[in-house]
């Protein structure tokens, strides 16, 4: 069940432009990150992003086009997995 406030905010958000909705999404994402990830490294990274010294992290995952275009590299000799297993023995 969605609360009345959340429902009203959602309705208001529907009237925003695409750019304004993206700005709202970023603000909510930053707030979520701030509340869940307070390590010194993440705080430092956030400060660097805010100052424009680092770019925001790219979305996780690989685009479907890249996955479809992927081709394995052909190598000579036995598979690397066999070499690793032999070296561990």
pTM value > 0.75: no
pLDDT category, 7, cuts 50, 70, 90?
confident
Q: What is the pLDDT of residues 49-79, one digit of tens each?
A: 889 888 887 667 778 888 888 888 888 898 8
pLDDT at 34: 57
Q: What is the pLDDT of residues 22-55, one digit of tens each?
A: 888 888 887 776 555 577 888 888 888 889 888 8
Listed residue (68, 73, 82, 26) closest to 50, CA to CA: 26
- Taking the CA of residue 82 as centre, how many other CA atoms within 13 Å lie in the half-sphere pointing to its CB? 3
């Amino acid at each position: 069940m969605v609360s009345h406030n959340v429902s009203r905010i959602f309705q208001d958000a529907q009237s925003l432009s695409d750019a304004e909705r993206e700005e709202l999404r970023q603000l909510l994402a930053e707030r979520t990150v701030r509340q869940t990830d307070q390590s010194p490294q993440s705080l430092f990274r956030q400060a660097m992003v805010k100052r424009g010294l680092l770019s925001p992290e790219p979305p996780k995952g690989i685009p479907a086009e890249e996955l479809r275009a992927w081709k394995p590299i052909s190598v000579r000799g036995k598979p690397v997995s066999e070499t690793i297993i032999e070296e561990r023995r």
